[in-house]
Amino acid sequence: MQGTIRFCFLVMLAATFTGLAVSLNNGLARTPPMGWLAWERFRCDLNCKDDPDDCISEKLFLDMGKRLSEDGWTKFGYDRVNIDDCWPAKERDAEGRLVADPERFPHGIKWLAEQLHGMGVKLGIYEDYGTKTCAGYPGTMDHITTDADTFASWGVDMLKMDGCNSNISTMDTGYPAIGDALNKTGRPILYSCSWPDYERARHMDVNYTFIAEHCNMWRNYHDIGDSWQSVYTIIDFYGNASNYELFGKVAGPGNWNDPDMLIIGDFSLSFEQSKAQFAFWCLMASPLFMSNDLRAISDEAKTILQNTEILAVNQDPLGVQGYRVHQYNNHEVWCKPLHDKSVAVILWNRSTGGMHSKITVQFKQVGLPASGNVTVRDLYEHQDMGSFSGSYSTYVNPAGGVVMLKLTPVALADRRAAEAYVL
Ligand code: GLA
């Protein structure tokens, strides 16, 4: 227990200084970026003849941009549509520039960006540090400046730089060179790097402080797939305290660890598990890129993804990445300190026994005073649960269920109420 308290204290101290960290000098991603990304749901579907709605084409990205804009997603902060692999033609043009596949993107990327910008939506694109992308399309190797200039001239707002088919030992110079080339275009382009994931996979030492100086966000771990196992394996990776020591502390305004896409609204997750993925991605201050079909999403999935109280935890300006503070049998407690001195908490029940279980958060576990009252608000139920001293316990559904709470010391809440009254 002593160790846990010390760990929480160090994390809160580190959070205080997050703003001082050196970061990529583009002023972007001061809170975790949000939007939609094609890969997990639509992969490399090239069959526009038989599957015109789902293939990787300008229609798919226009459809998703329209849904973001017309169905109100942009008001919640989901304001990016991102292309992934398989968009270019197999060959560059005579000047060595990338071109979009002419059949699937007949109007080109510049036109697509203009259409999306007209809807209030930004466009992201995908490239690869190596000679070819993971799916075998032309890579950026030997074309760094040309590609950065091309993307800027098209009005691209974000670049995901993958790392297939490359010499991984050169990434420490190659990824910063791409970041510099993006900066030199003069267009603000959010830079998402797969660099640390490739180094980790090679068992290399990953220098996250250095990576955070050059990238706005970065992938740390395996690709997400459409399964609960994939989701909880990723959560476990981030919950591992030694991983938090390694990369959790470099997260903050301008720099985010990326556990990959949200799969809420797809085929595998139960309602409880969907709530869990969203709660954890928000608690971990993760980029929120949905990979689902916004043309056919259920009201249930939409309600989860548009929960403003939980989105506020994700977008909290302090930018601390939440972390696991307690694990016992199949029960876990995680927390994220917020800028207003309150703390967001997840109670997680991983048991498959079929019964709900009572899980307790001890206030001192999450950096709050052990004595004195704390108000508890349930962020999925949108309900104040009362004021408690020392701890709070509640039932949590099994098979991955979560309860997500906001804990606020009462003295603080009283002061805020008094201030509001004076105003
Ligand atoms: C890698 C990345 C994925 C996706 C595919 C595309 O696997 O990690 O996110 O971009 O490549 O080929």
Regarding the beta carbon of 247 and ligand 1, being less than 6 Å apart is answered no
Task: Give pLDDT tens digits for 376-391.
Answer: 999 999 999 999 999 9
310/346 same-domain check: no
296/209 same-domain check: yes
Regarding the beta carbon of 84 and ligand 1, being less than 6 Å apart is answered yes
Q: Is-contact 86 44, C-beta < 8 A?
A: yes
Sign of CA dihedral 156, 57, 132, 23: positive
Regarding the beta carbon of 147 and ligand 1, being less than 6 Å apart is answered no
> DSSP 3-state assignment of 379?
coil
What is the CA(103)–ligand 1 centre distance, in A?
Answer: 22
> DSSP 3-state assignment of 83?
coil
85/214 same-domain check: yes
Regarding the beta carbon of 195 and ligand 1, being less than 6 Å apart is answered no
Residue 48 parent element (H or E): none
Is residue 88 in some structural domain?
yes
Q: Tell which atom from ligand 1 comes closest to the C-alpha of 126.
A: 10
Note down the domain range covering 380.
323-422
The catalytic residue among 84, 162, 258, 293 is 162
The catalytic residue among 45, 71, 223, 340 is 223
Look at residues 98, 74, 96 and name the one whose alpha carbon lies nearest to residue 86.
Answer: 98
Out of 314, 335, 356, pick the residue that ends a domain.
Answer: 314
Is residue 1 in some structural domain?
no
* Cβ neighbours for 139, distance < 8 A, ≥ 6 positions apart: 127, 128, 129, 130, 131, 132, 133, 164, 165, 166
Q: Is-contact 287 293, C-beta < 8 A?
A: no
Is residue 4 in some structural domain?
no
Six token digits for residue 170: 């050169």
CATH number of the domain to which 415 belongs:
2.60.40.1180
Helix and strand counts by DSSP (H, E) for the chain: 14, 16
330/394 same-domain check: yes
Regarding the beta carbon of 236 and ligand 1, being less than 6 Å apart is answered no
Out of 273, 290, 314, pick the residue that ends a domain.
Answer: 314
Is residue 354 in some structural domain?
yes
Q: Is 316 a catalytic residue?
A: no
Q: What domain count does the chain have?
A: 2
Task: Give pLDDT tens digits for 8-63.
Answer: 444 444 444 443 333 467 999 999 999 999 999 999 999 999 999 999 999 999 99
Determine the pLDDT at residue 411. Answer: 81
Q: Tell which atom from ligand 1 comes closest to the C-alpha of 160.
A: 10
The Cα–Cα gap between 44 and 133 comes to: 12
CATH number of the domain to which 144 belongs:
3.20.20.70
The Cα–Cα gap between 41 and 81 comes to: 13
102/223 same-domain check: yes
174/154 same-domain check: yes
307/338 same-domain check: no
Out of 265, 296, 314, pick the residue that ends a domain.
Answer: 314
158/243 same-domain check: yes
Protein residue whose Cα sits closest to atom 6 of ligand 1:
85
- The amino acid that residue 320 corresponds to is V
Protein residue whose Cα sits closest to atom 1 of ligand 1:
134
336/196 same-domain check: no
Determine the pLDDT at residue 228. Answer: 98
Determine the pLDDT at residue 419. Answer: 64
Contacts 24+ apart (CB under 8 A), 178-182: 178/129, 178/140, 178/144, 178/148, 179/24, 179/214, 179/215, 181/144, 181/145, 181/147, 181/148, 181/149, 182/26, 182/148, 182/151, 182/152
Is residue 3 in some structural domain?
no
What is the CA(162)–ligand 1 centre distance, in A?
Answer: 7
153/281 same-domain check: yes
The Cα–Cα gap between 16 and 264 comes to: 33
Determine the pLDDT at residue 412. Answer: 73
Protein residue whose Cα sits closest to atom 3 of ligand 1:
223
Regarding the beta carbon of 135 and ligand 1, being less than 6 Å apart is answered yes
What is the CA(201)–ligand 1 centre distance, in A?
Answer: 14
Is residue 394 in some structural domain?
yes
Q: Is-contact 66 119, C-beta < 8 A?
A: yes
299/398 same-domain check: no
Is the pTM higher than 0.85? The answer reads: yes
> DSSP 3-state assignment of 127?
strand
Is residue 164 in some structural domain?
yes
Q: Is 340 a catalytic residue?
A: no
What is the CA(232)–ligand 1 centre distance, in A?
Answer: 19
What is the CA(283)–ligand 1 centre distance, in A?
Answer: 24
303/334 same-domain check: no
**Ranges under pLDDT 70 in the chain:** 1-24, 413-423
Is residue 359 in some structural domain?
yes
* Cβ neighbours for 178, distance < 8 A, ≥ 6 positions apart: 129, 140, 144, 148, 159, 161, 191
